[in-house]
Amino acid sequence: MEPKFKVKFYGTRGSIPISEPGFYEFGGNTTCISITNNINNRIAIIDAGTGIRKLGKEIEQDPSSDNEIYLAFTHFHWDHIQGFPFFKPAYNVEKTLNIITMGRDRPLKDIQSLFNFQMHEVFFPVKLDEMGAKMNFLMPKDEIELFGETVVTVRKHNHPGTAYSMRLYWREKVIVICTDIEHGKKIDQRIVSLARGADILIHDAQYNPEELETHRGWGHSSYEQAIEVAEQAGCKMLILTHHDPDHNDEFLFKMENKCRERFKDCLLAREGMEFTV
């Protein structure tokens, strides 16, 4: 059987979840992406924004899902971890969660203490060690192997508090996830190198050019910058994500059409959207 990977978006919003009319098409949950292989149905999850709640329910309802889950983090800002306490598999004693943060020079030295703090009784009624699932906390510096031969490497990029872009590859198949990145005046060539030849590049695009100028230092990119990375790296498909909570469906439809005029194989991420590589 030829290995295939299904990429699915469960959270596409940045900064804070939003739920009100006019925001339903692209979704209101914060960042969460799943990657599943078709060999052993093992799942890797990128970030635990509020979208992870629905993903967790689906995992628990699927009898074919593997009991070992990988949960990797680009960084630990609130919108990327706030769904974790509501992730059902974390309460299942039959599940094993491999919680991963990668990269050299990271300021965080102990991720278990971070989750212990998040689950402190001041913030939540259930403590981390009371959740049920077996949890392994992994902090590899350069790369880690998932799904057998699938390798994940990371590259540090500019974001307050530090964040990392990820490249997942199996032989010639490549998926790159680059969220919460501020390129600055010029595109970060380290990220272009990481994204080189990707089948799918998932890239932060929180702002339009005018908004970017008034949000320098906030740690995010514009639509045009994301497209420029995809063009320079020769990516086959570009998915724009981390939508600003003030950008409604009407705004995002217009931006998507504009972006596709420049980069044909480009879409704005929607909750529930999935692709096979």
Q: Is 224 among the domain residues?
A: yes
Residue 107 has what pLDDT? 76
Q: How far apart are CA 14 and CA 26, in angstroms?
A: 12
- Partners of 165 in the β-ladder: 155
Whether 216 is covered by a domain: the verdict is: yes
Q: Where are the alpha helices (DSSP H) in the chain?
A: 52-61, 111-118, 189-194, 209-213, 223-233, 249-262
Residue 57 lies in a domain: yes
Query: How many structural domains does the chain have?
Result: 1
Distance, in Å, from the CA atom of 134 to the CA atom of 162, rounded to the nearest integer, reads 28
- For residue 116, tell me if it sits in a domain: yes
- For residue range 172-206, what is the model confidence (pLDDT) as tens digits? 889 999 999 999 999 999 999 999 999 999 999 99
Residue 249 and residue 270: Cα distance in Å, rounded? 10
Q: What are phi and psi of 32, to 5 degrees?
A: -160, 125
* Stretches in the chain below the pLDDT threshold 70: 1-3, 39-40
Yes or no: say if 32 and 56 are a contact pair by the CB < 8 Å rule: no
| Strand, helix or coil for residue 163 | strand
Give me the pLDDT at residue 3, please: 64
Residue 78 lies in a domain: yes
Which of 33, 110, 170, 107 is CA-nearest to residue 99?
A: 110
pLDDT tens figures, 234-265? 999 999 999 999 999 999 999 999 999 999 99
Q: Nearest to residue 168, comparing CAs of 9, 12, 6?
A: 6
Residue 265 inside a domain? The answer is yes
Quote the DSSP letter at residue 37.
E
Segments forming the whole domain that contains residue 73: 5-269
Phi, psi of 213 (to 5 degrees): -65, -30
- Answer yes or no: is 22 within a domain: yes
- 217 domain-assigned: yes
CB–CB of 47/276 below 8 Å? no
Q: Which residue in the block uniquely carries the two structure tokens 């689906």?
A: 58
CATH code, domain with 156: 3.60.15.10
